[in-house]
Structure 1
Amino acid sequence: MLKIYGRADGINVRKVLWLCEEMALTYEREDWGRGYRPTSDPEFQRVSHFGLVPVIEDDGFILRESNSILRYLARKHGRQDLLPEDLRARATVEAWMDWGVSDGFAGLRPVFLGLHAKTPEFVGKSELINWGIWHWNRQLQRLDADLGKSGGPYVCGADFTLADIPVGMIVNRWLSLDFEKPELPAVARYYEQLSTRPAYRIHGRNGTP
């Protein structure tokens, strides 16, 4: 059976849980990470010495990195609707997934850790937090422009794909945190579209940033 290591409120763990819900996969999950057992614990280190969640164990196969896990599960279960075989369609999906762990996430991190999680390293670091707000808003403006041009309703067009999972988690956190942000009508429509999906309601727009 698929086993997921990581706390259910972690943004990257939630990406994997969302996909499992979309695909109706059966799994077990153990709480690890902030607020639970530390990933420095030898028991977790035996699974992954990188010390980050999520990690999955699938019939003895260990895999870390949330987006790699998403791709692995989609490929394993033959979900070409989520991760197309067509070279260009797949590249577009993966470009958005990469955005979700690079530019799309860079500003999110100091804002979330400083204003919400109150992580000591970020509390009071107003210059860093203000940069995060500026950068995060700028990236969401770019997302808004792309959604407006493509016609959506999803980031890669008419169909829901793996790309929407990291992007959808970023959008939920952006809208859930209290800071000054621009009006982005296409992002707002996208958020409502994602919210028609029961799996997103459970693991994305569930009241947790």
Structure 2
Amino acid sequence: MIKILGKTTSINVRKVLWTCEEAGITYQQEDYGSGFASTQTEAFRAMNPNAMVPVLIDDDFVLWESNAICRYLTRKAGRNDLLPDEPQACANVERWMDWQATEFNNAWRYVFPALGRNNPDFNDPDRIAAGIKEWNHCITILEQQLQRSGEWVAGEGFTLADIVLGLSVNRWKMTPFDKPTVPAIEAWFERLNQRPPFLRHGNNGMV
């Protein structure tokens, strides 16, 4: 059985668990990270030198990086609806996955700890304002994409792009600051809420 190492409060672990359930993959999840089993041990660093979660174990195969894990899981399950085989359709899904990991997530690196976690170490008002501006800019990019693509981020069907961005948009929605009006995103988010795995691992009160 596939093992997923990482605490369920982690946004990146929840992304992987949601993918498992969409792909119909049976898994065993074990809590690692702050407050649980340590990621700072030699044994864990041998699996992931970054000492971060999630980590996937599939027999003797070990994989880290959440988006890579999501890709692996869908291919293992033969779910080419979630990640197409055709090169251009696959690239379209992976483009939005990569954008989520690089541009979208980097936009909240300062503002989320400040406003979402109330971390006193993140108290620079100029950096908070800059982070809000960048985060909202990314949201407008996604809003424009959904206006073009229709129901789902990469086109007509639900894919991994919707999973990874669904978690990120949930974090944006739950962090308190002024936000633009995004009707296409709101409609898309309502469609995500019709999927039981999203309610378990995405829109479940956690950020």
CA–CA distance in 1 between the matches of 2:114 and 2:34?
A: 15
Q: CA deviation at 1:46?
A: 3.0
Q: Report what 2:174 is aligned to.
A: 176
- 2:143 is the alignment partner of 1:144: yes
Q: Report what 1:34 is aligned to.
A: 34
Residue by residue over 1:2-40, the C-alpha shift from the partner in whole angstroms, topping out at 9 and shown as x without a partner, is: 111111011111110001111222111111123323311
Q: Report what 2:126 is aligned to.
A: 127
For normalisation by structure 2, the TM-score amounts to 0.95
Aligned-pair Cα RMSD in Å: 1.3
- 2:164 is the alignment partner of 1:192: no
Instruction: Decide whether the 8 Å contact of 1:106 with 1:135 is kept in 2.
Output: no
Closer, same or farther in 2 for the Cα pair 1:57/1:207, shift >3 Å? same
**Superposition pairs for residues 159-170 of structure 1, below 5 Å?**
159-170=157-168
CA–CA distance in 2 between the matches of 1:88 and 1:115?
A: 38
Q: CA deviation at 1:193?
A: 0.8
Instruction: Decide whether the 8 Å contact of 1:168 with 1:204 is kept in 2.
Output: yes
Q: CA deviation at 1:127?
A: 2.1
Q: Report what 2:112 is aligned to.
A: 112
CA–CA distance in 2 between the matches of 1:53 and 1:91?
A: 26
Question: Matched residue of 2:109: which SS?
Answer: helix
Instruction: Decide whether the 8 Å contact of 1:3 with 1:56 is kept in 2.
Output: yes
Question: Matched residue of 1:163: which SS?
Answer: helix
Q: CA deviation at 1:158?
A: 1.5
Corresponding letter in the other structure for 1:176:
M
Instruction: Decide whether the 8 Å contact of 1:147 with 1:154 is kept in 2.
Output: yes
Residue by residue over 1:141-188, the C-alpha shift from the partner in whole angstroms, topping out at 9 and shown as x without a partner, is: 1110111122x2110121101111111111111111111111111111
Q: CA deviation at 1:81?
A: 0.6
Q: Provide runs of 4+ in structure 1 moved above 3 Å.
A: 118-121
Corresponding letter in the other structure for 1:8:
T
Q: Report what 1:58 is aligned to.
A: 58
Q: Report what 1:70 is aligned to.
A: 70
CA–CA distance in 2 between the matches of 1:175 and 1:200?
A: 15
Corresponding letter in the other structure for 2:133:
W
CA–CA distance in 2 between the matches of 1:119 and 1:13?
A: 22
How many residues of Structure 1 are paired with residues of Structure 2 in the alignment?
207
Question: Matched residue of 1:208: which SS?
Answer: coil
CA–CA distance in 1 between the matches of 2:113 and 2:38?
A: 18
- 2:82 is the alignment partner of 1:79: no
Corresponding letter in the other structure for 2:18:
W
For normalisation by structure 1, the TM-score amounts to 0.94
Instruction: Decide whether the 8 Å contact of 2:170 with 2:202 is kept in 1.
Output: yes
